[in-house]
Amino acid sequence: MFDYGGIICQKMGNRYWIICGLVFSSLFRVYEASAGDSDPLYRACIEQCEKTGCIAERCFSHCKFSPDGSFLDGPWYMQEPLYLRWKQWDCQSDCRYHCMVEREKERAELDLGPVKYHGKWPFRHFYGFQEPISVAFSVLNLLMHYHGWRSFFSLLYSKFPLKRDKSPFYGYMGLWNIYGLLSVNSCFWSAVFHSRDVNLTKNLECSSGVALFGYSLILAIIRSFNLKDDAARVMVAAPLIAFTTTHILYLNNYKIDYGWNNKVCTIMIIAQLLTWSIWAGLTKHPSRWKLWIVVVGGGLALRLKILDFPPYQGLVDAHALWHASSVPLTYIWWSFIKDDANYITSINLKKVK
């Protein structure tokens, strides 16, 4: 979409850039509005809710008005306990959610399928969590990474022999430790973001995801090419770190462009899976079958990340399934990392003897 617009604009010459910019920015504004929130019945419901604080018999705590129209108990964010204020629940978000639920009920009665509202599928909230299934699987994934990382660490330090300086014989330990840290961080922000989607949580989820995918690609190249030399490792890591950092800065300081970010993340994941799969095809590593499971499983899971279908029963969408599929893959992945540590340590021990 962006490229196509750029080509047309270039052909028209520089003086049309401004007109072009206006036309395309208005086009994007149209794209930003989803079918659900363009619906006149939904809009009427929002208008009435924001005026009265109620939908039919139901009134919302965040919409308490005095007769002059100001909030009764001060601004909404002063009414929440401190630990809940980051969720930024206010009268508008209450109205949007409940109007959406009402409209979806009416649509279901007419045998009409769900539509998107403000760019998102209609999810049923569960105890204040916006996408409860994605939250649950993000937390499960976090626990899986933490468990794998901890057992990897204790394996190296308590089960395998160490060098005289007390460092392990496995030369990739530091790199996998950073990977463990970035994975746990990414799962944590993913759980927070799926609990409540606001600008702050969106930025943190996106940035931690990009950092993890960028770093995983560096790690895939360093491990599969067996790069032991610091200079070679820096040559691989430097451009990828520069790109990943620039992309994170772009997202945080310029704009959160989901479409563009999805493309960047998808390319980084594909590059990583390709690197591992080529290595898995060439190596004699005793645990290469685990690598194959993760590569094939990761490829299939990536299809779920790209797919975009409405949530079943307002709970399970393609994205939630993607998070679910990551849980067993994470377990097998850390199992491969531990096998790799075992394999490399035994090779290095033979060299020492």
Residue with tokens 């604009």: 9
Query: Measured from the CB of residue 305, what is the shortest distance to Zn ion in angstroms?
Result: 9
- Measured from the CB of residue 131, what is the shortest distance to Zn ion in angstroms? 8
Give, in degrees to the nearest 5, the angle at Cα 137 between 327 and 82.
Answer: 140
Distance CA 275, CA 213 (A): 13
> In angstroms, what is the minimal distance from the CB of 100 to Zn ion?
20
Q: How far is the CB of 83 from Zn ion (least distance, A)?
A: 23
N-term to C-term CA, the chain:
61
Q: Whole-angstrom Cα distance, residue 343 to residue 101?
A: 55
Min separation Cβ 144 and Zn ion, Å: 15
Q: Which is nearer to Zn ion, 190 or 224 (CB)?
A: 190
CB of 323 to Zn ion, least distance (A): 6
In terms of Cα–Cα distance, which of 338, 348, 349 is closest to 148? 338
Compare residues 96 and 323 and give the one whose CB is closer to Zn ion. 323
DSSP state of 165: T
Q: What is the DSSP string of 291-306?
A: HHHHHHHHHHHHHHHH
Nearest CB to Zn ion, comparing residues 135 and 237: 135
Q: Which residue, 190 or 207, has its beta carbon nearer to Zn ion?
A: 190
| CA distance linking residue 282 with residue 73, whole number of Å | 67
Q: Minimum distance between the CB of residue 290 and Zn ion, rounded to whole angstroms?
A: 25
Per CB under 5 A, residues contacting Zn ion are 190
CB of 248: closest distance to Zn ion in angstroms?
17
Residue whose CB is less far from Zn ion, 190 or 272: 190
Token representation of residue 115? 């539509």
Tell the smallest beta-carbon distance from residue 129 to Zn ion (Å). Answer: 13
* Closest to Zn ion by CB, 222 or 265: 265
For residue 74, what are its two tokens? 């001060």
In the chain, the largest separation of any two C-alpha atoms, in whole Å, equals 86
In 309-331, which positions are buried (b, 16+ CB within 10 angstroms) versus exposed (e)? ebbeebebbbbbbbbbbbeebbe
List Cα–Cα distances, 162 to 166, 328, 337, in angstroms: 5, 31, 18
Q: Which residue has the CB atom at the shortest distance from Zn ion?
A: 190
Determine contact, residues 226/116, Cβ cutoff 8 Å: no
Nearer to Zn ion, 317 or 340 (CB): 317
In the complex with Zn ion, the residue whose CB is nearer, 202 or 233, is 202
- The number of angstroms, rounded, from the C-alpha of 42 to the middle of its chain's C-alpha atoms is 29
Least distance (Å) between residue 317 CB and Zn ion? 10
Closest CA to 115 of 97, 98, 103: 103
Q: Nearer to Zn ion by C-beta: 94 or 205? A: 205
Residues 86 and 199: their CA atoms lie apart, in Å, by 10
Q: Find the helix or strand (DSSP H, E) in which 54 lies.
A: strand 54-55
In terms of DSSP bridges, do strands 54-55 and 58-59 run parallel, antiparallel, or are they unpaired? antiparallel
Nearer to Zn ion, 189 or 334 (CB): 189
